[in-house]
């Protein structure tokens, strides 16, 4: 890498990122930094550049919140304010795909969090009801206590929520993205369930008993997929 020229965009971006809390000064630069700078300066390929930056940050072990703060530092350094939605989302998707690459191969997943989609959850519920096993399962629903107003904060919260859900339910449970800020775990009821639910204590959590009929379960899932 060429030495930073004082006052250059790269230097300003790095300085602002460090001030925002970047924890690895020696590892800040990556080829994706140059692509992001070119994309911002020229006004094209921004989505691809931000996705590549998210990928690079994830592979370097940078957390999603720290990475998004770094992305914001770039746009602020140019005088553009907060990054646009397309840039933030592409960064988050790039970060997620690199972080959860093994999970991403399973299909039927939300591209941001890697959790399964609502249609997949409906299919799984149909299987349980056909096997008369719905009564042996619970739907654990979790969401943040407070909704973040900033887009970057909401995406970071969604990824944190998904990550915590995976840690709480590392077995064969069906983990679903119910809404942008709400997730669910279709898990078997039993003495071990309260312990797993307790791992989600930093979020608002509810444990739902599945209704008697499949159609009622679909209504429940439809309701949970709205308003978050």
Digit-coded pLDDT (tens) for 43-85? 778 999 999 999 898 888 787 888 999 999 999 999 988 899 8
Confidence at residue 18, expressed as pLDDT on a 0 to 100 scale: 93
CA dihedral 198, 202, 204, 206 (to 10 degrees): -10
| 88 and 170 part of one domain | no
| 139 and 78 part of one domain | no
Query: How many percent of the chain have pLDDT more than 90?
Result: 52
In degrees and rounded to multiples of 5, residue 5 shows phi and psi of -85, 125
**Contact 161/179 with Cβ under 8 angstroms?**
no
Mean residue pLDDT of the chain comes to 86
| 89 and 130 part of one domain | no
Mean pLDDT of 217-222: 91
Asked which of 44, 75, 99 is the last residue of a domain, the reply is: 99
Asked which of 61, 79, 99 is the last residue of a domain, the reply is: 99
Tokens 């094209």 -> residue: 44
Which stretch of DSSP H or E encloses residue 139? strand 137-143
Digit-coded pLDDT (tens) for 16-31? 999 988 877 878 999 9
Confidence at residue 227, expressed as pLDDT on a 0 to 100 scale: 64
By C-alpha distance, which of 51, 45, 30 is closest to 95? 51
Domain span at 81: 9-99
Split into its structural domains, the chain has a count of 2
| 123 and 150 part of one domain | yes
Digit-coded pLDDT (tens) for 103-117? 444 457 777 788 998
Confidence at residue 3, expressed as pLDDT on a 0 to 100 scale: 42
| 214 and 110 part of one domain | yes
Asked which of 81, 99, 117 is the last residue of a domain, the reply is: 99
Tokens 């407070």 -> residue: 146
**Global confidence as pTM:** 0.57
| 95 and 110 part of one domain | no
């Amino acid at each position: 890498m060429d030495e930073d020229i004082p006052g250059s965009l790269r230097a300003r971006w790095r300085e602002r990122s460090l001030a925002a809390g970047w924890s690895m000064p020696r590892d800040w630069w990556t080829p994706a930094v140059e692509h992001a700078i070119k994309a911002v300066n020229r006004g094209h390929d921004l989505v691809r550049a931000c996705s590549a930056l998210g990928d690079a940050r994830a592979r370097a072990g940078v957390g999603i919140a720290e990475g998004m703060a770094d992305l914001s530092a770039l746009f602020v350094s140019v005088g553009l304010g907060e990054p646009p939605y397309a840039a933030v989302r592409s960064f988050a998707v790039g970060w997620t795909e690199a972080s959860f690459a093994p999970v991403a191969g399973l299909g039927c997943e939300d591209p941001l969090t890697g959790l399964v989609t609502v249609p997949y959850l409906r299919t799984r519920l149909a299987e349980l009801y056909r096997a008369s096993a719905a009564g042996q399962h619970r739907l654990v629903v979790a969401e943040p206590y407070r909704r973040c107003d900033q887009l970057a904060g909401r995406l970071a919260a969604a990824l944190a929520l998904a990550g915590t859900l995976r840690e709480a339910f590392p077995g064969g449970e069906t983990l679903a993205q119910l809404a942008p800020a709400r997730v669910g775990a279709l898990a078997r009821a039993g003495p071990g369930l309260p312990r797993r639910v307790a791992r989600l204590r930093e979020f608002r959590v509810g444990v739902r008993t599945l209704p008697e009929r499949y159609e009622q379960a679909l209504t429940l899932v439809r309701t949970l997929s709205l308003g978050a």
